[in-house]
Structure 1
């Protein structure tokens, strides 16, 4: 299959419902993705079931097939500490799936002449797409925290003929020397929206980001900056990216003494929480500040579903809740004094009491001090989240 045919197949894949504007599709046509994909990459097991290494030299057909499919490609493990060929480690940089990129660009709606800030350069493909969209009279600044990733992105961008202003630094600080911005496009997940992004935006600017508090599913958030220095918006769907490095939190769980370990039981099936809709996930995350992770792997005792609940700011505080068939009460193992499972259950049933609202009924207001999660109207605040 030649490049033109591959490109058109990709365009069709990223817009099955016809929602993506033509200008975004034209940008995808104008900026070939293969110029931004390394010769060796890793296809996430979330796409295929098992991690797959793609190697342009060893198997060029597969490499080209992946590059021009709606597939994310992992380009870095463990912040560069592990070679991709080992195929094990934390995913810390990637080329996002084209449909996700197109969806977020559609929400952002960059126009010719706009000044745009991108948070998270990655391979550089989105920065090149933004440069095409804003045209010769626009300006794109892009910030990448990893100097090695930024160096490769600069080479990719040069090969594609794109010239955004590339800065190495923590994207949470924005890029004050290039402000004010008309659009801010974020390509890494955030638990809290840095107020610097609001400060560096003109009134009426749009900020689009993956809001990833880490409880259940994650969310796209589209904010508009207001003249009073706040930003307000809603959650128009799903988006999930690797977390911004400065917001990753603490993942280690050191051993604790017997006095810190609690064996409890619950009547609540943990799958009720784990499989709840996105609106519930959003509410629970906002009300508790906790994260979750579920696993359905059987163990030596048979069928098992385990839901982990953690405090991202406190490595000594977590809980595991087990589901097994034909069980009246489910085991809860809790570490630390915070009653994590009780908080999650309480938040879930508060969401139920609100009428089980979907994600699209929630919105967020960002102020210098905190975030307000609201239901239906900014006047109906249901949770306050520290900024």
Structure 2
């Protein structure tokens, strides 16, 4: 198949892709936005390098698969074709692009502010749908910005491109009808709320430090706040000003044990994940299955960490904790608090962003669950 046929086949496979976005994907083909050398990162398989000059067939297969194509690592300091280092720019999975644009659901003539131009593909899709003059896209990295401008020009579109920090938005041109965010966000910048028209929407990937990421749709109200709920699971590279890394800690561990299986904590429900992220916003975790049914969970915050190990050979779970906090104890309490609420699922949680910060709530915005002592009024 040629590029057009592959693009049609890919868009036909994406569930719930509306006719307008399907037409945009046909008119703004993805291959125009992918460099000759890149790294294909499938959601369910190992990544691999793609090189258009060496193997054009594999390159085109990757471009028109439902996989992220990584186009930069370590802010350009590493060779992206090696697949090593931190991923810092990409062309997102087409199904996630479709989910974000579908949540945006613009009207004809809407003006959109996009945070994170990346390769320029989503800016091109927006420009096709709304017109170049109605799309403003911000990119912080000069090399990525320049490449996106070339890609967009090649596709026949010239939306307004701005080199700058997307966390600050773009006051010139505000208010916008919608804000479309293509990078992970831990704390929603209030500037985005200020720059969105009353009744307008902000669609973003909320990426808390705890397990999981969630496509989030907020609507701006008339009282200076934005409120909305969490939707499908997502994974995105972080907004540059909100990146974080594990701390380097010294000191001895405190030895203890627990009867709570850590597998239940991390695999019970996306609702549990949101409740934990809201209760312990500065706690991160990583886990892995091991041989013979064993399982290991690592936790860390700015001044503490913990190692939790489950083995089917023992009833009790081994726990090692160090630093100022007992992170496993805090995590256990947060999980059991979610259980005591009846184990609500993701659909019952939402977010409010206001001048005094970001709040996670259960069922209604009045029932906030931020903080380790929070108890929503169920």
Which residue matches 1:8?
A: 8
Partner of 1:164: 159
TM-score, normalisation: structure 2: 0.94
Give the aligned partner of residue 288 of structure 1: 280
Q: What are the within-5 Å matches in structure 2 for residues 184-203 of structure 1?
A: 184-203=179-198
Contact 2:362 2:369 in 1 (8 A): yes
Decide whether aligned partners of structure 1 residues 109 and 69 sit closer, same or farther in structure 2, where only a CA change above 3 A counts: same
Q: For residues 293 and 342 of structure 2, what CA distance do their matches in structure 1 show?
A: 33
- State how many pairs are aligned: 371
Q: Is the 8 A contact 1:119 1:186 kept in 2?
A: yes
Query: How far apart are 1:85 and its partner, in Å?
Result: 2.7
Checking the alignment, whether the CA contact within 8 Å between 2:42 and 2:66 is kept in structure 1 is no
Q: Distance in 1 between matches of 2:90 and 2:140?
A: 14
Distance in 1, matches of 2:371 and 2:116, equals 27
SS in structure 2 of the partner of residue 47 of structure 1: coil
Taking the TM superposition and a 5 Å limit, the aligned residue runs for 1:1-387 are 1-15=1-15, 19-44=16-41, 46-48=43-45, 50-135=46-131, 138-254=133-249, 256-258=250-252, 261-289=253-281, 290-298=283-291, 304-311=294-301, 314=302, 316-383=303-370
- Whether the 8 Å contact between 2:278 and 2:371 is mirrored in structure 1 is yes
| Unmatched 5+ stretches in structure 1 | none
SS at 1:383's partner residue? coil
After TM superposition, give the deviation of residue 145 of structure 1 in Å: 1.4
Q: How far did 1:303 drift?
A: 5.0
**Could you give the per-residue CA deviations for residues 62-108 of structure 1, whole angstroms, max 9, x where no partner exists?**
11111112111111111111102322111111110111101110000
Q: Is the 8 A contact 2:211 2:266 kept in 1?
A: yes
- Paired with 1:177 and 1:130, the residues of 2 have a C-alpha distance of 19
TM-superposed CA distance for 1:45, in Å, is 5.8
Whether contact under 8 Å (1:373, 1:384) holds in the other structure is no
Show CA shifts across 1:154-189 (max 9, x none): 110111111111111211111112211100000000
Asked if the contact 2:251/2:323 (under 8 Å) is kept, the reply is no
Contact 2:352–2:358 (Cα < 8 Å) also in 1: yes
Residues in 1 aligned to 2:14 and 2:322: alpha-carbon distance in whole angstroms = 44
For 2:17 and 2:224, how far apart are their aligned partners in 1?
A: 30
TM-score, L = length of structure 1? 0.92
Separation (CA, whole Å) in 1 of partners of 2:74 and 2:25: 29
Contact 1:292 1:307 in 2 (8 A): yes
How far 1:384 sits from its partner (Å)? 5.8
- Which whole-Å CA distance do the structure 1 matches of 2:111 and 2:371 have between them? 31
Give the CA RMSD over aligned residues: 1.6
Higher mean C-alpha displacement, 125-134 vs 5-14: 5-14
